[in-house]
Structure 1
Amino acid sequence: MRALPLMFLLALAACKDDVQQQIVDPVALTPEATGHFCQMNLLEHEGPKAQVHLEGLPGAPLFFSQVRDAVAYMRLPEQTHRILAVWVNDMGAPGADWADPGAENWIALDSAQFVIGSRRDGGMGAPEIVPFADTAAAQAFMAANGGTLVALDDIPDSAVIAPVQIGDDTEDDADFDRRLQSLSNRNEG
């Protein structure tokens, strides 16, 4: 009779392991997926995406419009939950291209290799960290787009967290100055 409770505990532990595995499996990219930082639909943005699975949030990963953003999230001191898994689009997978990086071609972030410093910008317009499972695919990408191949631990903070100038903001600045002056003139009168 003592064996029955022990068998029950072992079965319960096995179930817990199955649930844990389900938590960290990648989730297919759907039209409902939105970026964690930008809160915009991921399918509206080109380039590779990422998903971060956190302890305490089973089956609901944080999606990122750019791999760069996911790596930044991991490095931020404000990040409060333990990260269980991070998945990124394998840009060397069959059918993956910049306009459609794929819905299910996820590879583990820590097993990927990355092209940094290429001429390709990510979905939010910032320089992208482009993930590959295969070295030959990464080298073909570099031949067409430039860049350097690195491992995750060799990605410098400057490629992830540094501010990025996107386009020429001169017109936006002039418009902002005009609107600010207009408000100031109203408040004075």
Structure 2
Amino acid sequence: MRPVIIALMVLTLAGCKEEAVQNTAPLPLSEAAIGHYCQMNLLEHEGPKAQVHLAGLPGAPLFFSQVRDALAYMRMPEQSHQILAIWVNDMGAPGATWATPGRTNWIAADDAIYVVDGHVVGGMGAPEIVPFTDLQTATEFTQENGGQIMRLAEIPDSAVLAPVELNGDSGNADFEDRLRSLSRKVGE
């Protein structure tokens, strides 16, 4: 009987053990920050960046060359880990420029004010969603670059997940023609 009581006590104490809380503080951008999708050094690209901290992967956030890419990642259902935190560059922070958005000027994605559909492109050449802490700075940005001011929950999926036109690509017609051509070659 005594071994059973000891076993129950051990199980009870194990159940009371607190789970370690994962640190989700933003990491500074460095030469080691490589874009999750592009696998390129983030410091080589203009525009705001993002980092996503995932449960079970402490100290190794996913970095993104564009804020738009991090928001797309967040909205995709295929993710295998719970997202604990998303950090974005505050483009209104002192010293932040499009060429050098900053290494430590992170704000929580949920707290940011975003300019969506402006006339700016991010580090990978796609339209960018630009984060700010301050509404006045975001408003000034829209006066220069167009766009609409939104909170994270207001940004439509079409601004994040929809295909974009790059380098004068005028739509799907050319893509469909290339697919037809490839299909004919395979069938020959």
TM value normalised by structure 1: 0.79
Ranges in structure 2 where 5+ consecutive residues have no aligned partner? 1-13
Find the residue that maps to 2:58 and give its secondary structure: coil
Deviation at 1:113, TM superposition (A): 0.9
Aligned to 2:135: 135
Moved over 2 A (4+): none
Distance in 1 of aligned mates of 2:126 and 2:29: 21
Distance in 2 of aligned mates of 1:138 and 1:110: 15
Distance in 2 of aligned mates of 1:127 and 1:167: 12
Distance in 2 of aligned mates of 1:168 and 1:90: 30
Distance in 2 of aligned mates of 1:42 and 1:96: 15
Distance in 2 of aligned mates of 1:40 and 1:134: 30
Find the residue that maps to 1:141 and give its secondary structure: helix
Deviation at 1:135, TM superposition (A): 0.4
Find the residue that maps to 2:20 and give its secondary structure: helix
Name the count of aligned residue pairs: 162
Distance in 2 of aligned mates of 1:74 and 1:91: 21
- Which AA in structure 2 matches 1:104? T
Distance in 2 of aligned mates of 1:157 and 1:91: 22
Distance in 1 of aligned mates of 2:70 and 2:152: 12
Distance in 2 of aligned mates of 1:133 and 1:140: 13
What does residue range 90-105 of structure 1 map to in structure 2 within 5 Å?
Answer: 90-105=90-105
User: Structure 1's 128 and 58: CA in aligned 2 closer, same or farther, altered over 3 A?
Assistant: same
Higher fraction of helix: 1
Find the residue that maps to 1:53 and give its secondary structure: strand
Kindly report the root-mean-square deviation, in angstroms, between the aligned alpha carbons of the 2 structures. 2.4
Distance in 2 of aligned mates of 1:168 and 1:139: 29
Aligned to 1:152: 152
TM value normalised by structure 2: 0.80
Find the residue that maps to 1:24 and give its secondary structure: coil
Query: Which whole-Å deviations, capped at 9, do the CAs of 1:18-46 have from their partners, x for residues lacking one?
Result: xx3xx210000001211001101111110
- Which AA in structure 2 matches 1:150? M
- Which AA in structure 1 matches 2:31? P
Deviation at 1:140, TM superposition (A): 1.0
Distance in 2 of aligned mates of 1:71 and 1:169: 23
- Is 1:113 the counterpart of 2:113 in the alignment? yes
Deviation at 1:93, TM superposition (A): 0.4
Deviation at 1:169, TM superposition (A): 5.0
Indicate the percent of aligned positions where both proteins have the same amino acid: 62
Find the residue that maps to 2:150 and give its secondary structure: strand
